[in-house]
Amino acid sequence: MARAAGGCTRRGYARDMASRARRPLMRPSAFWDSSALVPLCARQPGTPQSKLWLRRYEIVVWWATPVEIASALARLLRVRQLDSQQWSLSVKFANKLVEAWSIINPSDRIRADAMELVKRYDLRAADSLQMAAALQWCEASPQGRTFLTADMRLRDAARLVGFDV
């Protein structure tokens, strides 16, 4: 595992380099909420948009994003929007995504920032942690940085904080 700037961890860097030979070397990074990633793993109405974003942006996520994706895929299986074979394929794809993204790790600073964000914006606890991690990623300068989400409440807060959405 290689370390990347801004307190994030880059997974699968060496393996990913071979696949990058087929893509432009430099794509801008964006901070991805799990609501933008799940449609890449399981066919949903947001899948076409998420695929466009994937072609355009590298993925930066909050440390708990794999848990959020696992929860979403399990829920889709429980409510029978995925059958067991589709769920298995979705989980495999999610595991491949993990190898290609950068992770913002938890910290006391992120927790403190999240506590302030819930006071200022209409955010749930997990969303405030996402937003605080995104602010850590961009070193508290969100102007010109992209935050990708399908969650309207989180999108509105990201816009108010100063992210491009």
Q: What is the CATH number of the domain that holds 53?
A: 3.40.50.1010
- Contact indicator for 147, 127 with CB cutoff of 8 Å: no
2-16, 30-44, 108-122, 128-142: least confident range: 2-16
- pTM over 0.75? The answer is yes
Q: Region 107-116: what's the mean pLDDT? A: 98
pLDDT band at 26 (very low <50, low <70, confident <90, very high): confident
- Residue 1: predicted pLDDT: 34
Q: Domain count of the chain?
A: 1
- Contact indicator for 72, 38 with CB cutoff of 8 Å: yes
Q: Find the Cα–Cα–Cα–Cα dihedral 112, 115, 119, 121, rounded to 10°.
A: 100
**Domain of 39?**
2-161
Backbone angles phi, psi at 146, to 5 degrees: -105, 135
